[in-house]
Structure 1
């Protein structure tokens, strides 16, 4: 899910950052410039990891800014194809189910990648008539079981495909600035999107496979983890 990418860049250290150590000033610059940004065909940058090398600083004429050529590693989110990840259903419509991992929300599961016999239909248990994807299975006694992909449910999904769009200023087209223009999933064009599936056994809402108690325990951190965090 996470990997390290090596990047070369020119770091500008402003006079206000001179009281900091060189490493801290470089780290702060990198995090400000790259954190929460997508680099095309690299992934979503999360934060500075380590410094590989740095040149002698050159002071800019009349500004006092020190320019340093650096090579550094940065932590990147880019899961591999086939990886199983955990997320939360934010909403759904007839075009698919949309997921969030809190720090990354451009995840969609198309209807074709849901379990067989899954349909988009009205939830009869909801007085408001909410529409939702429902997976129907044979209960072995001539009836059917219904499993719901409800909003806010914790799910497991499998990474099937990456979609990249270079939205750098020099590559943008007029339509990219129009918020009314959407794609096949009803979403605006984004630099990086994950297409997932929930069609295999063990995937989908964790409540299906673990039960209510198991899902609650899985969502809560272990006692020793809480102690370590404290």
Structure 2
């Protein structure tokens, strides 16, 4: 799910950061530029991992900004094809189910990758998919936690340069899943035994117990997740 990638870049350290140790100033600059950003056909950058090398700094004429050539590693989110990941159903429409992983929202289970036969049904909250098997109904209810299998990566270059190449390109437009264009999206399947809502396979009591065990506030000796410093 997570990989390390090596990047080369020119770090710019402002005079206001001269009070920091050099490595800390470089790390802060890298995290500001890359964290929570998608690099095309690389993945979603989670954060800085390690500094491999750094050149001597060169001071810019008239600005005081120090330029440093660096090689470093980033932690990147990019699940491999066939990997089983966990997410929560956030919404549905007639074309499929929109999943959320909390930190990554661009996950789709298209209608053709659900258990067959599955059909969309309308209720008071919108569209809900239902799998009917052996006279039983299994519902893909909103907010249900699910296991899903990665089937395809979908990349789209949303850089300003690419936007200028197409005068009709509109960042506000929606695709058939009701989603805005995303630089990186995962298409997943929920059509194999063990996939889909936990409730189907574990039973209600077991699913609730598993969710409670995973909650940070219920872990002994912790009070939730602390921010990195």
TM-score, reference length from structure 1: 0.90
C-alpha displacement of 1:182: 2.4
Counting only pairs closer than 5 Å after superposition, residues 163-202 of structure 1 correspond to structure 2 as 163-172=154-163, 173-179=166-172, 181-202=173-194
Equivalent residue, structure 2, for 1:99: 99
Q: Contact (CA 8 Å) 1:157, 1:196: kept in 2 or not? A: yes
SS in 1 for 2:178: coil
Taking only aligned residues, the RMSD between alpha carbons, in angstroms, comes to 1.8
C-alpha displacement of 1:166: 1.1
C-alpha displacement of 1:216: 1.5
SS in 1 for 2:213: coil
Sort the Cα spacing of 1:130 and 1:71 in 2 relative to 1 into closer, same or farther, 3 A: closer
Q: Deviations over 1:131-189 (max 9, x none)?
A: 31111111xxxxx111100111101100000000111111123333351x322323222
Q: Structure 2 stretches of 5 or more lacking a match?
A: 224-229
Q: Distance in 2 between matches of 1:37 and 1:130?
A: 31
Counting only pairs closer than 5 Å after superposition, residues 42-191 of structure 1 correspond to structure 2 as 42-123=42-123, 128=124, 130-138=126-134, 144-172=135-163, 173-179=166-172, 181-191=173-183
Q: Structure 1 stretches of 5 or more lacking a match?
A: 139-143
Equivalent residue, structure 1, for 2:227: none
Equivalent residue, structure 2, for 1:37: 37
Q: Distance in 2 between matches of 1:99 and 1:222?
A: 19
C-alpha displacement of 1:2: 0.3
TM-score, reference length from structure 2: 0.91
Equivalent residue, structure 1, for 2:198: 206
